[in-house]
Amino acid sequence: LGIWQSSMHRWSSLDNQFYRRTVEHMQEITGTQSSKWCAGCHDHALLFSGKWEQPVREQLDTPEAHAGLGCVSCHSIVHVAGSLGNGGFTLEYPRLHEIAASRNPYIRALGRLLTRLDPEPHRRTYMKRFMREDAAEFCSACHKVHFDQPVNHYRWLRGFNDYDNWQASGVSGQGARSFYYPEKPQTCADCHMP
């Protein structure tokens, strides 16, 4: 939790003034439908609660607008569709979410206690094998972006692309033109989510 509170994932949503203004402008021009493309990576709480159907200007005072991407946003991903990005992932409610999201504070407290006593079920539920073994591809689901005609009403344009930059670097162990190669190749999470 401490790492998350100061991370960019925490500030991915409407608390980020540059992102918020971009979405507001997009919705002024095209409505809310194409801006859902942004919400797929930035605003899970608003998108999956159905609140994204309304303009974000009407959402600014809601808790969902300031939730950022919590741990479960990424750790409920069960499949990443390659390294093409643009939110190419599948989410499922984790098996333990009923306990963590219970309205009963005693059940939530019991869940936290059980996690402290035996963290293995929590670890298996939230840290899937592909998140460790294919960490860079996992991150590419949102950290590789392009804008296409349905979103920008123009043509295909590259957005940012952290994945290909990582892959071409020596840090990945795959970059042919790099001048720096660490002793052991590293993934995104090795540096950004230690």
Mean local confidence (pLDDT), 107-118 = 95
How far apart, in whole angstroms, are the C-alpha atoms of residue 145 and residue 41?
Answer: 10
Q: Encoding tokens for residue 6?
A: 């100061």
State the pTM of this model: 0.84
Q: Encoding tokens for residue 151?
A: 């979103």
Q: Looking at 16-25, 55-64, 114-123, 185-194, which range is the least confident one?
A: 185-194
pLDDT at residue 94, rounded to an integer:
87
| Residue spans per domain, the chain | 1-69
pLDDT tier, 43 (very low <50, low <70, confident <90, very high otherwise): very high
pLDDT at residue 102, rounded to an integer:
92
Looking at the predicted structure, is the pLDDT value of residue 107 above 80?
Answer: yes
Cβ–Cβ < 8 Å for 56, 24: yes
pLDDT at residue 1, rounded to an integer:
64
Mean local confidence (pLDDT), 187-191 = 89
How far apart, in whole angstroms, are the C-alpha atoms of residue 115 and residue 121?
Answer: 8
pLDDT tier, 96 (very low <50, low <70, confident <90, very high otherwise): confident
